Chain A
Amino acid sequence: MSEFNLLDPFQFLTIPLGDWVESILNYLVQNFREFFRAIRWPIDQVLEFSEAILQSIPPLIGIILSSLLGWQLAGKKMGLFCAITLFSLGLIGVWSASMTTLSLVLTSLFFCVVFGVPLGILSARSDRVERIVRPLLDAMQTLPAFVYLVPVVMLFGIGNVPGVLVTIIFALPPLVRLTNLGIRQVPEDKIEAARAFGCTPKQMLLKVQLPLAMPTIMAGVNQTLMLSLSMVVIASMISVGGLGQMVLRGIGRLDMGLATVGGAGLVLLAIFLDRLTQAMGERSDINNTLHWYETGPVGFFVRGYRSMQTR
């Protein structure tokens, strides 16, 4: 028996954190498994819905629709750019896999927006909420994904749904942070003016704060999308399909070709989504003087319709 040593107290003084976590987890798994299964349901619905749509659209139609969307959001150049990236995706033979990945990413984005934006608004309004939320966000961003991968599997099983869940954990923080930042950065004089004209807190949020914070919030959406994509490969370890699985399988079999194709697909998808959301962010910027229906393909039809009417 060694003596108690003041200089190195940690031979005796330790907290069995690992044991605690394990027993809590076991307890949860044994008693609340049904509850966690129930959480799967809404995610499953959104995921299946989006995947069904994306997979059922023929590639060429998909490319044309996205190009039109790009044109509408940011002009003809953007439309052409969308067409090229998506066409390349098809050319390297990963269309179907990338649609699966896209539906995963969009589903996580959907839930991130549903939870992240209100959370960001709350923490912008109350310093106390911000103080509580901040360390949580730090943990979500820095905790290695592998650490929560296992508990998630134990609680939710494997497949696409827990994959989306893991992705949400990783991709949520920037959206919360940037929503918070965007609202806090709304100039004080605009807030004061709105108060002076008798805004209720709700009017303040909807008519002043959110519109003025929109460019920053869109930057948050962009970051969330990028992080979701980067999570796809890790999530594929719990049997999530799509491009991530191609990469993982390629690595596992030392099939560099397969891994590279999957990786290239991810990069192309990332560029496509990044450009598109950036364009959306710029649209919500203040220097836009045309209405959305006056530009792009919609503007084209609106102009055509108007000139027909005047004739």
Chain B
Amino acid sequence: MTDSTNILSIRNVYKVFGDQPDTAMQMLRNGESKDQIFDKTGQTVGVFDASFSVKKGEIFVIMGLSGSGKSTMVRLLNRLIEPTAGTIELNGKDITALGDADLLDVRRKEMSMVFQSFALMPHMSVMENAAFGLEISGIERHERERRALEALEQVGLGEHGSSFPHQLSGGMQQRVGLARALANDPTILLMDEAFSALDPLIRYEMQGELIRLQKEQERTIIFISHDLDEAIRIGDRIAIMEGGRVIQVGTPKEIMSNPADEYVETFFKGVDVSKFLKAGDIACKESGCSIRINGAVQPFNPANSQFGYLLDGQDKLQGIVPLNEVDASDNVDALLSRQVKQHQSIYSDDMIKDVIKKVANASYPVPVIARNGRFCGVISKDLLLQTMSHS
């Protein structure tokens, strides 16, 4: 991870709510806790020494329970709430130091926001709502209606431009909210619990939609959520917040396999790992014996495996042979003639939940191959069960 891929860097950001932020900051520097400060001064510490960075083109989920400061955190990014201390850098430009005009510019061009409550304007049609950000930026009518229509089509609402928000269902209203944010073509999309007000089916559908949109446009998205399943499904990386602190940042797998503290561990207890682990994450090279057939059969060590995986010079899988039927003296043709007919294989970026059936039905540990054809390892039934029982 180099600095150049970071689009947004948050360093030591604090937010104190109340009328004496300086006193509270002084006490924080002296090492007093949030509760002590509240008892002595009545100041609430909303965000406490948050530092993390967001990479270009990823979906970064900030997740925490209510009161953890996640909604405050996202509003600090576009300064809907002014940070008390710390720096927030967008493409190397310090947002916390911007004047009013520059800040408006950032809000108009760089960051758009989608809200939990949709926050559509009831007196405007769907088209006018989608064009709202552009209208504010002073873009002339024809141009902004063209771009708004484009955004509406992206979210599947091209036909509804002349309707009014109250005529649409909740899911459709949030699509309008999404279109309004997309129409500005922002560098970063901020989504504050954008799907939390929707019913589960629609929410699932919208998550899929978001993942699709992100793939198409490679947009950086910062997503706030209190729902761990949602975070794991859409998030490339997750930041876990508790009591105003960012406790851990990492991919779901990193956090899962190496929780920072007990809170994170209990949080992740009961999570279905098969939903976010990919076949490549657990594929094991040791439990299958790879046999190189680079012109001639290279020496191999059957060890304790029962199946051999025939690899050519480019590490591509040529076949699977039961080791009890071969010995080290066989040549390539002999090996190939003994291979398992029509063997199954799985791609390394398949989700575990999608490969369970294949692994269960195969009589041999199923080989995992990368999209470019390279052999990554195998998944045996034992390995799969071990992984699933991890939680």
Question: CB within 8 Å of B: which residues of A?
Answer: 187, 189-190, 192-200, 203, 207-208, 211-212, 214, 286-287, 289
B104 touches A200 (CB 8 A): yes
Contact of B136 among A189, A192, A203, A286 (CB under 8 A): A203
- Interface membership of B369, Cβ < 8 A: no
B119 touches A193 (CB 8 A): yes
Contact of B115 among A192, A207, A286, A289 (CB under 8 A): A192
A212 touches B123 (CB 8 A): yes
Given A189-B119, A207-B135, do A289 and B80 touch, yes or no (CB 8 Å)? no
Residues of B close to A203: CB separation below 8 A = 136
A198 touches B137 (CB 8 A): yes
- Interface membership of B195, Cβ < 8 A: no
B113 touches A193 (CB 8 A): yes
List residues of B (149-197) whose CB comes within 8 Å of A's CBs.
163-164, 166-167, 180, 184, 190
B164 touches A196 (CB 8 A): no
Q: Tell me the smallest distance from the CB of B151 to a CB of chain A, in Å.
A: 13
Q: Tell me the smallest distance from the CB of A127 to a CB of chain B, in Å.
A: 15
Residues of B close to A287: CB separation below 8 A = 166
Residues of B close to A195: CB separation below 8 A = 80, 107
A192 touches B123 (CB 8 A): no
A196 touches B121 (CB 8 A): no
Given A192-B80, A212-B122, do A198 and B117 touch, yes or no (CB 8 Å)? no
Give Cα distance in the complex from A211 to B128, angstroms.
Answer: 14
Number of interface residues of B (CB under 8 A): 29
Question: CB within 8 Å of A: which residues of B?
Answer: 78, 80, 104-108, 111-113, 115, 117, 119-123, 132-133, 135-137, 163-164, 166-167, 180, 184, 190
B122 touches A286 (CB 8 A): yes
B108 touches A198 (CB 8 A): yes
A199 touches B136 (CB 8 A): yes
Give Cα distance in the complex from A194 to B184, angstroms.
Answer: 13
B123 touches A197 (CB 8 A): no
Give Cα distance in the complex from A194 to B104, angstroms.
Answer: 11
A196 touches B167 (CB 8 A): no
Q: Tell me the smallest distance from the CB of A202 to a CB of chain B, in Å.
A: 11
Residues of A close to B112: CB separation below 8 A = 196-197
Q: Which 10 A-B pairs have the closest CB atoms?
A: A198-B107, A193-B119, A198-B108, A286-B122, A196-B113, A189-B119, A197-B133, A198-B104, A189-B117, A211-B123
Contact of A286 among B104, B132, B166 (CB under 8 A): B166
A207 touches B78 (CB 8 A): no
- Total A-B residue pairs with C-beta atoms closer than 8 Å? 62
Residues of A close to B166: CB separation below 8 A = 286-287
Residues of A close to B163: CB separation below 8 A = 289
Give Cα distance in the complex from A196 to B167, angstroms.
Answer: 25
Interchain residue pairs with CB less than 8 A apart (18): A189-B115, A189-B119, A190-B121, A196-B78, A196-B80, A196-B111, A196-B190, A197-B108, A197-B112, A197-B133, A198-B106, A207-B135, A207-B136, A208-B121, A212-B122, A286-B166, A289-B163, A289-B167
A197 touches B107 (CB 8 A): yes
Give Cα distance in the complex from A29 to B122, angstroms.
Answer: 52
Give Cα distance in the complex from A196 to B117, angstroms.
Answer: 14
Give Cα distance in the complex from A197 to B135, angstroms.
Answer: 10
Nearest CB in chain A to that of B110: its residue = A198
Give Cα distance in the complex from A211 to B105, angstroms.
Answer: 24
Residues of B close to A198: CB separation below 8 A = 104-108, 133, 136-137
Give Cα distance in the complex from A277 to B20, angstroms.
Answer: 48
Give Cα distance in the complex from A297 to B388, angstroms.
Answer: 71
Give Cα distance in the complex from A203 to B137, angstroms.
Answer: 10
A197 touches B184 (CB 8 A): yes
Nearest CB in chain B to that of A197: its residue = B133
Residues of B close to A208: CB separation below 8 A = 121
Residues of B close to A193: CB separation below 8 A = 113, 115, 119-121
Nearest CB in chain A to that of B163: its residue = A289
B115 touches A197 (CB 8 A): no
Residues of A close to B132: CB separation below 8 A = 197
Q: Tell me the smallest distance from the CB of A207 to a CB of chain B, in Å.
A: 7
Give Cα distance in the complex from A234 to B105, angstroms.
Answer: 56
Residues of B close to A196: CB separation below 8 A = 78, 80, 107, 111-113, 115, 190
Give Cα distance in the complex from A98 to B80, angstroms.
Answer: 54
Nearest CB in chain A to that of B122: its residue = A286
Q: Tell me the smallest distance from the CB of B116 to a CB of chain A, in Å.
A: 8
Residues of A close to B104: CB separation below 8 A = 198, 200
Give Cα distance in the complex from A242 to B92, angstroms.
Answer: 72
| Known A193-B115, A194-B136, A196-B107; further 7 A-B contacts with Cβ < 8 A | A190-B119, A193-B119, A193-B120, A196-B113, A203-B136, A286-B122, A287-B166
Give Cα distance in the complex from A23 to B141, angstroms.
Answer: 61
Q: Tell me the smallest distance from the CB of A75 to a CB of chain B, in Å.
A: 20
B164 touches A197 (CB 8 A): no
Give Cα distance in the complex from A190 to B165, angstroms.
Answer: 13
Given A192-B80, A197-B108, A197-B184, do A289 and B119 touch, yes or no (CB 8 Å)? no
